[in-house]
């Protein structure tokens, strides 16, 4: 009796693949509301993971205890920030929304007031505007805008329960992502054929670099720009300093265009509320508005040339127009969260498409293990010093996500063979002097002892 399972014909395989994709698309559509919270869970997990690894690897705390400490501190920070920042922020947003109709009215009056030229003639700016651009109609339509904004933010209590529920969901999912991410990575890599395993690991590394650079860089830019604008606005007495600081921080998620758009409300506040600032009261509204605009441009240029290249690196080096279009697409797809995550999503797509492009053209997407001058594909982590004995010559610890990998076993076996050959076969590098070889032998050696990704010698 033949115990081997019969193989499916090619037609059945195609039908099964198409059916699976259709079912996956239907499921994806049905749970589309969970996509944004899941993305936020991944972001929180990326932010929390370095702190957990520091507590676990450097302070030698148990992993579960490290995760618990970090999440308890995070929850306390969220509660404290909500209690101290939410009410002032809502109050400033309300004041700004209520003041918008006044800004429109004052702007209309300025355009309708005649301006005396150098030759003695008076010119009204509103006369040069087309008839379709009726500012009075816009003002009438915005007359109730402030009241609607107050009602909108006045009903924030009704939306608090929904927001708290999504926060709890995000923290719960991110907790398990941090706790079991290594197991998840091994499971995902285990689904692919063994000859592609090392490429998938390298693809994970590149995607991880993109998200690490994005989250680390954007958090630094958010804190630097937000605190700088908030501090300067508070010092000069510019109204809505907290709101302007938050807008300046979030604007860094859309480089070039974001800082330009957040400059507009600051200039409007400086122009129409000059008397509320001690510095603005010393000059005319136009001069104060120009000064605020120059200050914003200076801060943004300093951040663009001195901070962004250092904290973001090359992984997110994309043209500003691409980022702007991606931000608009993200807003149409997922709202504000889509704007915030547009840059790393585009950078991740670039990494994946580069891998697919190389495979389609039958090109090696990454250096092949065992070749001369090939970059290492697996990054190993040194063990804690207190856990290593003086006479311990065992190889460094391999991350849990890579344990059991055929690639790691191949590289470990090759490293042990090289160490034995180098030490004369006794494993003690302090007693045996390494053998001297000429340059030709060292260059020919990789060709003779070449190891494949599956650990088999050619």
Same domain, 170 and 308: no
Same domain? 176 vs 252:
no
Is 403 within a domain?
yes
Return all residues near 334 (Cβ < 8 A) that are at least 6 apart. 35, 36, 39, 341
The answer to whether residue 388 is domain-embedded is no
Is the same domain home to 67 and 178? yes
Select the more confidently predicted residue: 351 or 153.
351
Q: Which of 156, 191, 226 is the last residue of a domain?
A: 191
Q: What confidence tens digit (pLDDT) does each residue in 48-70 have?
A: 988 998 999 998 999 899 999 99
Three-class DSSP labels, 171-183: HHHHHHHHHHHHH
67-75 long-range contacts, CB within 8 A, separation 24+: 67/175, 67/178, 67/179, 71/171, 71/175, 74/48, 74/171, 75/171
Q: Is residue 359 part of a domain?
A: yes
- Asked whether residue 55 is assigned to any structural domain, the reply reads yes
Helices H, strands E: what count in the chain?
Answer: 16, 2
Distance CA 376, CA 399 (A): 15
The domain containing residue 242 runs over which residues?
Answer: 208-366
Q: How far apart are CA 300 and CA 226, in angstroms?
A: 11
- The answer to whether residue 71 sits within a structural domain is yes
420 vs 83, residue with greater confidence? 83
For residue 369, pLDDT beyond 90: no
Domain assignment present for residue 199? The answer is no
Q: What total number of domains does the chain contain?
A: 3
| Pair 282, 355 in one domain | yes
- List pLDDT tens digits, range 3-27: 677 888 888 989 998 999 999 899 8
Instruction: Give per-residue pLDDT as tens, 95-144.
Output: 887 777 777 777 777 777 776 666 667 767 666 666 545 555 555 554 45
- pLDDT above 80: residue 40: yes
Partners of residue 122 on adjacent β-strands: 116
Rounded mean pLDDT of 425-431?
46
Residue 187 lies in a domain: yes
């Amino acid at each position: 009796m033949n115990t081997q399972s019969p193989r499916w014909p090619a037609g059945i395989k195609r039908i099964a693949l198409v059916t699976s994709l259709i079912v996956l698309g239907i499921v994806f559509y049905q749970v589309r509301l969970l996509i944004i919270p899941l993305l936020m869970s991944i972001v929180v997990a990326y932010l929390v993971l370095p702190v957990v690894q520091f507590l676990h690897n450097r302070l030698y705390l148990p992993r579960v205890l490290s995760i618990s400490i970090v999440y308890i501190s995070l929850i306390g920070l969220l509660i404290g920030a909500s209690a101290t920042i939410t009410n002032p922020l809502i109050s400033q947003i309300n004041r700004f929304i209520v003041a918008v109709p006044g800004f429109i009215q004052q702007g209309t009056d300025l355009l309708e007031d005649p301006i005396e030229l150098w030759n003695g003639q008076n010119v009204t700016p509103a006369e040069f505007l087309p008839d379709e651009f009726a500012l009075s109609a816009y003002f009438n339509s915005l007359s109730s805008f402030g009241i609607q904004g107050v009602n909108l933010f006045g009903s924030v209590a009704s939306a608090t329960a929904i927001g708290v529920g999504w926060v709890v969901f995000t923290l719960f999912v991110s907790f398990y992502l941090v706790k079991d991410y290594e197991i998840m990575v091994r499971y995902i890599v285990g689904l692919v054929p063994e000859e592609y395993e090392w490429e998938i690991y390298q693809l994970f590394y590149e995607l991880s670099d993109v998200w690490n650079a994005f989250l680390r860089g954007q958090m630094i830019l958010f804190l630097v720009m937000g605190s700088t604008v908030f501090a300067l606005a508070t010092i000069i007495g510019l109204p809505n300093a907290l709101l302007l600081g938050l807008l300046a921080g979030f604007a860094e998620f859309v480089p070039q265009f974001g800082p330009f758009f957040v400059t507009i409300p600051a200039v409007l506040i400086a122009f129409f509320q000059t008397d509320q600032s001690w510095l603005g009261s010393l000059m005319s509204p136009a001069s104060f508005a120009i000064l605020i605009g120059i200050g914003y441009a200076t801060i943004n240029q300093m951040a663009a040339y001195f901070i962004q290249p250092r904290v973001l690196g090359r992984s997110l080096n994309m043209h500003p127009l691409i980022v702007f279009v991606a931000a608009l697409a993200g807003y149409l797809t997922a709202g504000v969260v889509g704007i915030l995550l547009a840059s790393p999503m585009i950078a991740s797509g670039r990494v994946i498409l580069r891998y697919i492009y190389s495979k389609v053209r039958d090109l090696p997407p990454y250096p092949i293990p065992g070749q001369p001058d090939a970059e290492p594909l697996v990054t190993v982590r040194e063990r804690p010093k207190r856990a290593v004995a003086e006479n311990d010559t065992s190889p460094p610890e391999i991350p849990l996500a890579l344990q059991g990998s055929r690639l790691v076993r191949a590289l470990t076996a090759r490293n042990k063979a090289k160490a034995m050959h180098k030490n004369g076969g006794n494993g003690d590098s302090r007693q045996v002097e390494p053998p001297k070889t000429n340059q030709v032998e060292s260059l020919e050696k990789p060709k003779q002892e070449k190891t494949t990704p599956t650990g088999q010698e050619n």
